Structure 1
Amino acid sequence: MSKVVLITGASSGIGKSIATFLSEKGYKVYGTSRNPKNLETFSFELIALDVLKVDTIATAVDFIVKKEGRLDVLVNNAGMGITGAIEDTPTDEMRAVFNTNLFGAIDVMKAVLPQMRKQKHGIIINVTSIAGYMGLPFRGLYSATKGALETVTEAASMEVKPFGIKVINVAPGDFATNIAAGRYHTPVFENSAYKENYQANLDLMDAHVSGGMDPIEMAKAVYKVINTKNPKIHYKVGGTLDKFSVVLKRILPDTWFEKMLMNHYKL
């Protein structure tokens, strides 16, 4: 029997690529969007789910389980970006991105775990980010949400392993998606002490995204994880520099690594 897969945030970008790829591989895929009726037709079934509304999460999971009798894989992909200096970014916007990227992902995990426990198997894949391994200038809040989800993944993996459930994270680097259009940008305030550096880094971030890898590489990585008997907890998908930065973070003195990042971001 083909696996039943739930993928959040599947109407565009990485989520859409993963959903399309797995559907082509014969999986029964349910993608989610906050407003699926307003979107084009996809090769997989798109259902309504808003990670900020637990009732919509419960309804979506219940719909899949009643229709299919099981739920084998969750790909927790829904998320949002945020940019800005820590000092300039409104605290309410900081809370909003944590609610989506961390607590929203946790709420979806909580919704699927009872069914996965009942069937004594399941795979949860949390899509994090290589940015979650380090605090990046003007992306500190985004880095923090993804780093927190990485840590939650580690803890959950140990908690649910006795039930036959695997919890894994896959961390992408820079990919060519529309994330820049959907992220919250703290305005470049005229009187900000960070005005010039922040604007320069906004331009750099957009260049990195537009020149990023094809999202199909994330789809292939997720497919490989699903079909690995004993998967690792952490996977990184990206260019050589993306992945090497994580290694450097681990082996270099922190002041050296900070200097390297500041040179890269021209600070």
Structure 2
Amino acid sequence: MSKVVLITGGSSGIGKSIGEFLNEKGYVVYGTSRHPKKYTNSKFPILALDVKDVTSINTSVNTVIKKEGKLDILINNAGAGITGPIEETPEAEIKNNFDTNFFGPINVIKAVLPQMRKQHNGLIINVTSIAGYMGLPYRGVYSASKGALELITEAFRMELKDFNIKMTNVAPGDFATNIAEGRYHSPLLDDSPYKTPYGNTLNLMNAHVDAGSDPNQMAKAVFKIINAKNPKIHYKVGEFMQKFSIVLKRILPDTVYEKLLMNHYKL
């Protein structure tokens, strides 16, 4: 029987690319969106799900299980970007970002675990970010939320070993998606002491996304992970220098690495 896959945030960007690729490979794919009616031309079903709403999470998961009788793979892809000086980012927006990028995925995991435990089999792939490996200027909240998901996955994996449920992280670099359109931007304030450096950094971040890699690279990487006998704890997908930056962080003194980041962002 074909494996059943649930992809949160499967209506656009990386999630859509993963879903279409797996669908072509013969998997039974379900995607999710907060507004599924906007995606009537999707190549796979799109269910209504808001990762900040536990009721909608449970409803979508139960719908898949009722229709298919099982759920083999969860891809926690839904997420939100956020930029701005930490000092000027409203507390409500910081909490909202963690609700989407950290607490949301945890609640989706909790919803699928009973079925996977019943099957004594399952795979959970958390889509994080290379940004989660380092505190990036004017993207610190995003880095922190994705980094938290990376770390909790390490703990979760060990807790799930007895149930034959596997979990892994896959951290993308910059990909050509619409993430920049949907993320929260702290406004560029004329009287802000951060106006010039934040403005310059914001332009650089947007340019990186616009020139980003093809999301199909992520789809192919996820396909390999699914077919790996024993998935690793961490995977990184992106340009060489983006992945190499994580290596540099491990081997360079902290202040030297910080200097490299500041030079990169022209700070």
Relative to the length of structure 2, the TM-score reads: 0.99
- CA distance in 2: counterparts of 1:181 and 1:63, whole angstroms: 30
Within 5 Å, which residues of 2 pair with 1:1-267? 1-267=1-267
Q: 2:89 is paired with a residue of what secondary structure? A: coil
| Uncovered stretches (5+) of structure 2, i.e. residues with no partner | none
**1:55-99 deviations in Å (ceiling 9; x for gaps):** 010011111111111000000000000000111111110000000
Q: 1:168 is paired with a residue of what secondary structure? A: strand
Q: 1:87 is paired with a residue of what secondary structure? A: helix
- CA distance in 2: counterparts of 1:72 and 1:222, whole angstroms: 14
- CA distance in 2: counterparts of 1:149 and 1:156, whole angstroms: 10
- CA distance in 1: counterparts of 2:221 and 2:39, whole angstroms: 26
**1:1-54 deviations in Å (ceiling 9; x for gaps):** 110000000111000000010000000000000110122311111111110110
- CA distance in 2: counterparts of 1:43 and 1:262, whole angstroms: 43
Q: 1:124 is paired with a residue of what secondary structure? A: strand
- CA distance in 1: counterparts of 2:222 and 2:251, whole angstroms: 28
**1:84-115 deviations in Å (ceiling 9; x for gaps):** 01111111100000000000000000000000
Equivalent position amino acid for 2:100 in 1: T
Equivalent position amino acid for 1:13 in 2: G
Displacement, 1:161? 1.1
Q: 1:6 is paired with a residue of what secondary structure? A: strand
Q: 1:43 is paired with a residue of what secondary structure? A: coil
**1:164-208 deviations in Å (ceiling 9; x for gaps):** 000100000010000000000000011111000000011000100
- CA distance in 1: counterparts of 2:228 and 2:33, whole angstroms: 28
> How many residue pairs were aligned?
267
* Consecutive aligned runs of 4 or more in structure 1 exceeding 4 Å deviation: none
Counterpart contact for 2:39–2:46, Cα < 8 Å: no
Equivalent position amino acid for 2:92 in 1: D
**1:221-247 deviations in Å (ceiling 9; x for gaps):** 000000000110100000001100000
